[in-house]
């Protein structure tokens, strides 16, 4: 049983496999859901600007929570939510 999430298209020996798994465990990335219910990471696909911003916001929210900065975390969350419409 794996301790961290894995994606079937990211081999264990991939140079970023550990970081990708950690980011998935922290909720920073989730992959692309497939019709069969699995998630692929698509490590060779170019990231869109929206995906990059979304990952950055999720990572910042985690950093704020770990630092104990609830007010800043709430602000970042509000800005993110408002930007999504």
Q: Is the pTM value of this prediction over 0.85?
A: no
Q: Which helix (H) or strand (E) holds 6?
A: none
In this predicted structure, the answer to whether residue 72 has a pLDDT above a threshold of 60 is: no
In this predicted structure, the answer to whether residue 53 has a pLDDT above a threshold of 60 is: yes
* Ramachandran angles phi, psi of 40, nearest 5°: -105, 150
20-54: b or e for each residue (b if 16 or more CB lie within 10 Å)?
Answer: bbebbeeebbebeeeeeeebebeeeeeeeeeeeeb
Whether the Cβ atoms of residue 12 and residue 19 lie closer than 8 Å to each other: no
- In degrees, to the nearest 5, what angle opens at C-alpha 26 toward C-alphas 68 and 48? 110
What is the mean pLDDT of the segment spanning 14-43? Answer: 92
């Amino acid at each position: 049983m794996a301790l961290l999430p894995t994606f079937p298209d990211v081999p264990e020996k991939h140079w970023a496999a550990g970081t990708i798994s950690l980011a998935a465990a922290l909720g920073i990335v989730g992959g692309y859901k497939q019709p069969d219910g699995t998630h692929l990471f698509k490590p060779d696909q170019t990231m869109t600007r929206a995906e990059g911003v979304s990952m950055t916001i999720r990572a910042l929210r985690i950093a704020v929570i770990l630092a104990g900065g609830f007010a800043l975390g709430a602000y970042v969350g509000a800005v993110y939510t408002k930007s999504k419409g």
